[in-house]
Amino acid sequence: MKIEMKHGAGGAAMEDFIKNEIVERIGGGKAEIGLEKLDDSCVVDGIVFTTDSYTVKPIFFAGGDIGKLAVSGTINDIYAIGGAAVAISSALIIEEGLEFDDFRRIMESMAKEAKKAGVAITTGDTKVVEKGSVDKIFINTAGIGKRHLKLDENFEVVEEYRKVKHRWLLDSNIEEGDKIIFTGSAGDHGAAILAARYEIESNVESDAQPLNRLMDVALEIGGVVAAKDPTRGGLANLLNEWREKSKIGFLIRERDIPIKDGTKAICELLGIDVLELANEGIYAMAVVPEKAEEILEAIKKLPEGRNAAIVGEARKEYEYAILETSVGGKRIIEAPIGSAVPRIC
């Protein structure tokens, strides 16, 4: 039996593969939030710790490149669980023959995003392999962080309204009535990659960006229960991960989902569900209903949150994530089996 593309595609096949073939074998070590949680970061001995390898194709695309993606993605994973980033690493696997100019652009892009987020790149590794052994350049960024200073205050606010399941922003924290905010428009990163790959004329740009400031603002208000960035498998997969871990359904209103025209056009052209397309610069956030409007208003003032919207809520009457379509019908938002777009990140 051989490993297939679907095993890394961000959907149900990947989830099974990771649980049965990886976590089952290498997991089980002592941690406050460990590998088996499959959350955005782990927490061990008070340290928030996360890793991601980036294999995106092409390495340059509208709105970013592999370097911007690698830095933003790892920073966003740290903040998604309630951490504040302390430092990130940069481990490069470079294909022999890569142009120095391209390499320099990527390094400068990494430096710029890290600086924007106020995070230092403090350790690294560099490998060069023969032509054909890697596709241009793959980058791994691991990240470390500490507990976000505002996290306890955030949960004090949550507790005004209900008991908290866990005092980190975990996928399993969500309860009846929590409002779901998308902090930006759906699928822009995936659409930008598709446009680049299939040479589609489009004004869509990747949303890749660090979300540390946006999370600071939300935690300052309080009431955030969970946050997650919808990368591989998009928002469809994210909602199903939440559903499974929090054991609750969702009602999402299609008309409230922010979608850019350009992204919509690419989805229609290629017959892809926008909810299955990756983002790299938005969070889905679950927040207590009492604070949803206030958080929304605050993050909409930031450029990285200007398209944010409340798109639905957690509802225990549903077993699934349900989409109320623009024409009034209802359908189940299924976790994609494989991926609409391989090598998206």
Ranges within 54-113 binding a copy of itself (CB under 8 A): 55, 57, 86-87, 89-101, 103-104, 107-108, 110-111
For residues 17 to 56, the per-residue mask of contacts with a copy of itself, x marking binding by CB under 8 A and - elsewhere, is: xx--xx--xxxxxxx--xx-----xx-xx-x-xxxxx-x-
Judging by DSSP bridges, how do beta strands 321-324 and 284-287 pair with one another? unpaired
Give least dist CB 322 to a copy of itself, A: 29
Judging by DSSP bridges, how do beta strands 42-44 and 179-182 pair with one another? unpaired
116-145 residues in contact with a copy of itself (CB under 8 A) are 119-130, 132-135, 138, 140, 142, 144
Give least dist CB 300 to a copy of itself, A: 31
225-264 residues in contact with a copy of itself (CB under 8 A) are none
Judging by DSSP bridges, how do beta strands 179-182 and 284-287 pair with one another? antiparallel
Asked if 147 and 261 count as a contact pair (C-beta separation under 8 A), the reply is no
2, 271, 303, 328: which one contacts a copy of itself (CB under 8 A)?
Answer: 2
Torsion angle defined by CA atoms of residues 191, 197, 200 and 203, in that order, rounded to the nearest 10 degrees:
50
- Directed axis angle between helix 212-221 and helix 289-300, to 10°? 140
Residues 6+ apart with CB under 8 A from 223: 154, 157, 158, 161, 287, 288, 290, 291, 292, 294, 295
Q: How far apart are the first and last CA of the chain?
A: 26
Question: Which residue stretch of 16-24, 212-220, 251-259, 281-289 sits at the interface with a copy of itself (rule: CB under 8 A)?
Answer: 16-24
285-344 residues in contact with a copy of itself (CB under 8 A) are 342-343
Which CB atom, from 108 or from 293, has the smaller least distance to a copy of itself? 108
Give least dist CB 21 to a copy of itself, A: 7
Which CB atom, from 36 or from 244, has the smaller least distance to a copy of itself? 36
Total of chain residues touching a copy of itself, rule CB under 8 A: 80
Which CB atom, from 263 or from 279, has the smaller least distance to a copy of itself? 279
Three-state SS letters, 140-173? EEEEEEEECCCHHHHHHHHHHHCCCCCCCCCCCC
For residues 181 to 210, the per-residue mask of contacts with a copy of itself, x marking binding by CB under 8 A and - elsewhere, is: ------------------------------
The dihedral built from the CA positions of residue 163, 171, 278 and 329, taken in this order, carries a sign that is negative
